[in-house]
Amino acid sequence: MPQGKLIYLDNNATTQVDNEVLQAMLPYFTEHYGNASSALHPFGWRAAEAVKIAREQTASILAATPEEIYFTASATESINIALLGLYAQCKSKRNKIVVIKTEHKAVIETCIYLQSLGAEIFFLDVNREGLIDLKELEQVVDDKTIAVCAMWANNETGVLHPIGTIAHIAHRFGAFVICDTTQAIGKVRVDVSEAGVDIACVSAHKLYGPKGVGAIYVRRKNPRVTLPTYIHGGGQENKLRAGTLNVPGIVGMGKACEIANTNLWNYGSQMSKLRTALEQVLCTHHHAFVNGSMRNRLPNTSNLCLKALAIRKKISGMSHIAVSTGAACSSALSEPSHVLMAMGLNREEAINSIRFSFGKFNTMDDVFLVTDFFDKIKKEA
Ligand code: PLP
């Protein structure tokens, strides 16, 4: 373990649980431990009421209605429910799924699995900014397309996709829009109705909530979207996903959404100040460059190529600064990021790129400590 202060700049991988969230959850482990499906006594009623409130809070961050929210165990599970469910339901009439090459592995790997079942998966290219060509999208979506799968914000670069326009194109051909909003909620305003999203996937641990809880939004009106049962059993979550509800986790997710929604603007401007300060130093003193669009990105994420410092070789000396070289689930691999490679970086640029992702608990002192570290390794070189 490194000595001294550890600086956490890996908030797109996961976040510290907010104390207010933890306090909201605790009574549901001990005092109010009822099963939310127990309809005959106050223990059950109390748990069901807590889930009801959490459903409203979670709906609110997406500008959805509570009836459109189903709790799951993760965004990965929500993505599986969406893709596998729509494919099973539509495959006799439609067979194609259009997906952006820089989607999270939860989407890519599920699509590759569907390909093995006979689905046609079209992977959309991105440009150097990480953005798709909307004309290409218009050409590949057709009346055989089940869904276009596009993330609101990319987890590695923070790049924001024009979901409203993507949805407009998809809907012209009767295709659904599945949107992974995992990294966007709590960082930018997300309105699934306004954007025309049909299914959205979210996770609690990216916004100061607990791990092991997620949700899926399924549109109820204009059009009503239905999904087949994903987990069979006691019929919980309106028969979509059976299993006793994780009440403390769900309460935590709801609270985390409520706090994030109320403070959206404050957190965003606080994080973008820190990000700007970091980029100013690293880009001017260390010849770093930003990977991805500078105009359309999350306020907290900075993916920087630090080739000039040959940072990959020095990363082991950086263990007191928690950053990432890709998505958390693949950053242990030595392979360059599929996102950066899809954006046209060469292998050397990709492996010398680092994702810094700020969170609401970071301060300017963290930025100073990081920039001091980079100044030091430059001097030592
Ligand atoms: N989608 C995106 C964009 C993510 O960043 C992540 C987490 O890394 C996931 C999906 C998966 O989320 P979970 O950890 O809840 O499965």
Ligand 1 close to Cβ of residue 50 (< 6 A): no
What pLDDT was estimated at residue 307? 86
pLDDT grade for 376, boundaries at 50, 70 and 90:
confident
Ligand 1 close to Cβ of residue 104 (< 6 A): yes
DSSP-assigned states of every residue in 248-296:
HHHHHHHHHHHHHHHTHHHHHHHHHHHHHHHHHHHHHHS--EE-S-SSS
Instruction: Please name the residues in contact with 379: beta carbons below 8 A apart, sequence gap of 6 or more.
Output: none
Residue of 182, 208, 246 best suited for mutating to test ligand 1, as the one with most atoms within 8 Å of CB: 182
Q: pTM of the prediction? A: 0.96
Task: Give tens-digit pLDDT for 225-265.
Answer: 999 999 999 999 999 999 999 999 999 999 999 999 999 99
Ligand 1 close to Cβ of residue 182 (< 6 A): yes
Neighbours of 174 (CB within 10 A): 15
Residue nearest to atom 8 of ligand 1 (CA): 13
pLDDT at 329 over 60: no
Ligand 1 geometric centre to CA of 161 (Å): 17
Task: Give tens-digit pLDDT for 5-46.
Answer: 899 999 999 999 999 999 999 999 999 999 999 999 999 999
List the catalytic residue out of 149, 179, 283, 329: 329
- Taking each helix axis from N to C end, the angle separating 105-116 and 75-90, rounded to the nearest 10 degrees, works out to 30
What pLDDT was estimated at residue 325? 82
Q: Return the amino acid letter for 227.
A: L
Cα radius of gyration rounded to whole Å, the chain: 21
Residue of 79, 83, 104 best suited for mutating to test ligand 1, as the one with most atoms within 8 Å of CB: 104
